[in-house]
Amino acid sequence: MDMLTLSHVSKSFGSRKVIRDLSLSVPEHSIFGFIGENGAGKTTTMRMVLGLLQKDEGEIWVNGKKVVYGQNKTNRYIGYLPDVPEFYGFLTPMEYLKLCGEVTGMGQKEINARSRELLELVGLKEGDKRIRGFSRGMKQRLGIAQALLNRPKLLICDEPTSALDPVGRKEILDILSSVRRHTTVIFSTHILSDVERICDEVAFLHQGKVVMRGSMGEIKNLRKSTGFEVEFLHPEDLENFSQLFPGGRRIDRLLLRFEKKTEADMMASMQFLSCRNIPIQRLEMLEPSLEDLFLEVVQK
C-alpha cells in the first residue's frame, strides 16, 4: 500500500511555475528521500500535502484519503517537522509535549506515557531543561518527538538535517531509521549523503519536475561505475604506473583514481600491473554516488 500519492500536481505563483505535473508515490513503512536543490519546490510540495497550500492541478492522497485545501482531515495521519521548528522557550520538553497532546485531545495518561517514551527515543529524557537553552540539534530532536506524539502513519520532515553538524545529523538520521517500523517517513533534503545512508526510495526534483526516481539500487544501477581506484604499496610504484598507464588522478601519495572508466579499463590496468609485477594494496571499481547521478541528470 502507498501511504502518500501525488498525481499530476502543479503549482504556480503568478507567472512562475514551481511544480510541474508532479506524480510520485511513497510505499508504507519506507523511508523516502525527496531530493532537490534549494528552490526546487520541495517545501511547496510538503505544504500542499498538508493542505496548507492550494494546488492548481492534480490530486494528493494520504492513507487512501484525498487531501483538500483548507481542511485538516488527512492531517490526523501526518506528523510534521518543518525546517525551522519553533517552540515556547520557557517550557521544558515534557511541558511542551503535554501542551501539544492536550491541544490534539489526547488523554492525560496517554500524554504522559507517550511523552516519556518519545523523549527517551530522541535522547531528551532529562526533560527539566528549558527549551530556550537548546541547541539546533536538540530542537530538531524535540520537533521529531512532537511530530510522532499522535502515532502518525506518515512522518514528513522538511530539511531535518540542514544546518546541523555531523554529529547532529547522525543523531537525526538514526532516529528516523528507528521509527520506520511504526510509520512511513518522507524527508526532503539537498544533502545527498544523508539520503544514501537511510533511504529505501528516492525522487530527484529539478525545476519542479521529478527527473529520476526509484529504489536506491535501481538508481545506482542506472550507471554501473564511475571509474576505479588503485592503491599502491610504494609511492615510486604509483609514479612509474602513472607514467606508463596515463589518465589517472593522484589522490594522495599512494592512491590513483581513474574517473569515468569502464570495467574493461580496470581489467586492462590489472593486466598491466600483473605483467610488470607492480604490487598494490587495493584495486576497486567506484560505485556512482547520488551526487554524481543528480549532477549528471540536472546538467543535461
pLDDT at 167: 87
What is the full per-residue pLDDT of the chain (300 aa) written as tens digits?
899 999 999 999 999 999 999 999 999 999 999 988 888 899 999 999 999 999 999 999 999 999 999 888 899 999 999 988 889 999 999 999 999 999 888 999 999 999 999 999 999 987 678 999 998 889 999 999 999 999 999 999 998 888 788 888 899 999 999 998 889 999 998 888 888 889 999 999 988 888 888 887 787 776 666 788 999 999 999 988 888 888 888 999 899 988 877 778 888 888 988 888 889 999 988 777 777 777 776 665
Task: Tell me the pTM.
Answer: 0.80
How far apart are alpha carbons 162 and 166 in whole angstroms? 10
Q: Which residue has the cell 543523531?
A: 171
Q: Cα separations (Å) of 273 from 8, 97, 250, 270, 279?
A: 54, 63, 17, 5, 8
Q: Around 233, how many Cα atoms within 13 Å sit in the side-chain half-sphere? A: 6
Contacts of 105 (CB under 8 A, 6+ apart): none
The confidence score (pLDDT) of residue 95 equals 94
**What count of other Cβ atoms lies within 10 Å of the Cβ of residue 28?**
13
pLDDT on residue 225:
63
Report the pLDDT value the prediction gives residue 88, as an integer from 0 to 100: 92
- pLDDT at res. 40: 85
Q: Which residues of 139-154 are buried (b: 16+ CB within 10 A; e: fewer)?
A: bbbbbbbbbbbbebbb
User: Are residues 96 and 87 in contact, defined by beta-carbon separation less than 8 angstroms?
Assistant: yes
CA distance 39 to 27: 26
Residue 166: the pLDDT is 86
Q: Hey, what's the cell of 211?
A: 527527473
Bridge pairing between strands 227-232 and 209-215: unpaired
CA-nearest of 44, 80, 81, 39 to 62 is 80
pLDDT value, residue 295? 73
Q: What is the DSSP string of 269-290?
A: HHHHHHHTT--EEEEEEEPPPH
The 3-state DSSP class for residue 117 equals: helix
Pairing of strands 65-66, 57-62: antiparallel
For residue 232, the cross-strand partners are 280
Given this model, what pLDDT does residue 224 score? 60
- DSSP secondary structure, 184-235, as one string: EEEEEES-HHHHHHH-SEEEEEETTEEEEEEEHHHHHHTS--SEEEEEESSH
pLDDT for the residue 70: 85
